[in-house]
Every structure is written in C-alpha cells, then in structure tokens.
Structure 1
Amino acid sequence: MTTTAARPASIGAPRYSETMPCEPESARRARLLISAALNAWAIGDLADTATLIVSELVGNSVQHTSCRLLRVIVSRPSPHRVKIAVIDKARTIPAMTSPADDAEQGRGLFLIDVLSDRWGCDRHPWGKTLWAELEAPRAVTAPASRS
C-alpha cells in the first residue's frame, strides 16, 4: 500500500491533502486529517460536522467506485469557509436518493446536504471531485476600550 503523508499547500488557499487507498479504513485517516487541519486553523469546533461529512464523502467513493486511490483535501477558500473534498477517478456522478425508512444505506448525500452550507460535484476528464463547504466561525473581536 502506497500513501503520501498529509501536507500543507505551499501556495494559494491554506489546505492539507492526503492520498489514501479507496477502502473503508481510509475514512478514519480522512477524519484525522480533517481534525488536524481544523485544529491548526483554530476552528476545531467544526470537527464533529466536518468529520461526519468526510466520512460520507469517502464512503461514497469506496462504495460506488472501483478506484484504487482517492485524495482527501481540506482547504480554506476564504477566511470564513472550509471546503472538504474527495477526489477519485470514477466518472459517475452521485445522485441523492430517497431510501426507505428501514434502509441501512443511501443517506450519505442527504446527510451532506443537511450538514453543509453547500455541496457539489465537479467533473474532470479523468474523474470527479465531490465536495462540501462549511461556514467557519468568524473571529470574535473585543470592543475597543475607551480611555
């Protein structure tokens, strides 16, 4: 199994990424990557929601593609946004379904839709990027003191 270590981007928006095997165990590694990045950016309070989202994104790739590898990216496209993305080489675009009440699967995109501010899928000639964005908390500034 060949993987690369998580690494920060050297230019552009702040981000961390890691290539992982397209297997269920990678969801745990993806959650650790997301948590580490959010804590590095001092917005760890988004970790519960963000790790659930990345679990669902990774699960979608694992379950619905035959890809060997996937790439997880967490970025800050703006100071108030966090983008979580999973890239694979499958060209099939996922569709949100309405599973039966007793179904054990089929709710991943529904959860992503509910938990994120927005989400989508970008097609590429070689595959796709499934992503979700969250609003990062705005920094609280103390009022200026009067002298």
Structure 2
Amino acid sequence: MTVSRQDFEDAMAAYWGVKQTQTTQSKIMGAVGAGTAGAVRGGKHFDVIADLLAKSFEDAGYPWQYELGFPCDPRSPRIARTTVRTVLDAHHLNELGYRAELLVSELVTNSVQHTKGPAAVRLHWLHPVLRGSVWDMSPDLPRPVRPAASIYDEAGRGLAILDLVADRWGGCAIGDGPYGPGGKTIWFELALAAAPPPLTP
C-alpha cells in the first residue's frame, strides 16, 4: 500500500480534529462537574457551558434564526438595534455587527414611520452569510428618491444605505392571505470576509 503525502495530511487533520473535539468535550464536562446540578441551574457555571457549546455549533457551521416582533412605536428601532447587537455578540459575529445594526435600524425606522401596524425583524445565519429582513404590513415597496437626497435632507437615504452597506438586498410584496394583508419584506445579506489563503512554504 502506497501512502501519499495527501493521505498523511488527511490523517493528521482527522487526528487533530478528534483531539480538538475531545478537548472541547473535556472543558464542558469539567464545567458541569465544577458544581452541583443546582449550581449549574442557578447560573454559576451555565455561561461557561453555553459558550463552549455555542462555539462548537459555530465551528460546525450550524444555521440559526431569531425573530423579534415590535409595535409601531418610536422606541422600536433602538430595541431592534440592541437585539441585533446582542444576538451577534452571543454568536461571535461582531465583524458583522455594525453593518447589521445600521441596516436593521434603517429598515425598522422606515416601518415605524410609514406603516400603521406591527412589524418584525428576522436574523438568519447560514455560514458564512447573515440574512436580515424586516416585515411590515404595508405592501408598498420603497422607491428610490429622485433626485437623490442631499447631505441636508433628513430622509430619503434608505435605499442608498442598503446599496452601500449590504452585500446583497431585495424586497418583495406579500399578497393578502386568509388572515389579512400580507405586507412586504425587505431583506439584506452580509457575508463574513473570506479567510486568508494558507501560507505556502
């Protein structure tokens, strides 16, 4: 049997992958064993366990999704920004935090200003892309402002911000259903920066 260099490298990668998994499992077991079940339930060691489990899921590329509903209220954009920041911090996606907060804030502000009913923000992660979307009850899709907003205008920059900040974005009106108007959804996507190429000897 001939063993190539690639076979050797694959075997080493598999070995270190198993070792890393064992290390993570040992940390989790150590954190659990550091206190009684009551202490874990009480939160004494729960954060350590949760962080280790979350890191394991992220390394494996598991998708996740969060949704926040909010009323037509001027406080909603701030609450949406805070929620987005908290979610991305918890998932170690700080790299996307500023752009995601800006876009969600802009879309939620538009919903609060131009619609009468409730709305919702959704974050959906599928490595390496974060998709954010805002749904509201108005079926009217936003149109570009003509002429473009000047630096002195207080409004009219929403689509320009989406164009500038998002990697991709779009929107769709949702038809009326059996429970009332479908409204519309505006979505955007943000991708993690590409990993640097491996160093060559």
TM-score (norm 1): 0.79
Q: 1:13 to 1:124 in 2, by over 3 A?
A: farther
1:45 equivalent in alignment to 2:101: no
Q: State the structure with more CA Rg.
A: 2
Q: CA deviation at 1:136?
A: 2.1
Q: Which has the higher contact order (CA 8 A, sep 6+)?
A: 1
Q: 1:81 matched to which residue of 2?
A: 129
Q: 2:141 matched to which residue of 1?
A: 93
Selected match of 2:160 from 106, 110, 122: 110
Q: Distance in 1 between matches of 2:161 and 2:194?
A: 24
Q: Distance in 2 between matches of 1:16 and 1:110?
A: 26
Residue-pair matches, total: 132
Q: 1:121 matched to which residue of 2?
A: 171
Q: 2:108 matched to which residue of 1?
A: 58
Q: Which ranges in structure 2 are unaligned for 5 or more consecutive residues? A: 1-61, 176-181
Q: 1:75 to 1:141 in 2, by over 3 A?
A: farther
Q: Which ranges in structure 1 are unaligned for 5 or more consecutive residues? A: 1-11
Q: CA deviation at 1:140?
A: 7.0
Q: Distance in 1 between matches of 2:198 and 2:123?
A: 29
Q: 2:38 matched to which residue of 1?
A: none
Q: CA deviation at 1:142?
A: 8.1
Percent identity reads: 35
Q: 1:101 to 1:139 in 2, by over 3 A?
A: closer
C-alpha contact (below 8 Å) 2:81/2:105 kept by paired residues: yes
C-alpha contact (below 8 Å) 1:56/1:109 kept by paired residues: no
**Quick check: which one's helix share is greater?**
2
Q: Distance in 2 between matches of 1:40 and 1:139?
A: 21
